[in-house]
Amino acid sequence: MVLQVAHPSDVTLLDPPCLRSIDTRMQNDTLHFVVYFRSWDLWGGMPANLAGIQNLKEYMAGEIGVKDGEMIVESKGLHLYGYAEELAKLRCLSSPDLK
């Protein structure tokens, strides 16, 4: 099954949904996800998105009665907004005054 997060009206939006699809596969009694984002916020979105989607996969696997499997995630564009740049530099142990 593929859950698609797209509507024809999305083309008129200034900021359409970033998550486009979650493709699910059951193989050898294990549930796997392949997730696609059209665009992804490295600081504000990626960690929370990965955690939430993993929780969904674990929940679904438990309800179906299979093992939790792999999650393969891809994005056409990964970006870091300016508001988070200094935080990201600090987190990466980089000097905040580096440009």
Catalytic residues: 18
3-state secondary structure 10-77: HHHCCCCCCEEEEEEEEECCEEEEEEEECCEECCCCHHHHHHHHHHHHHHHHHHHCCEEEEEEEEECC
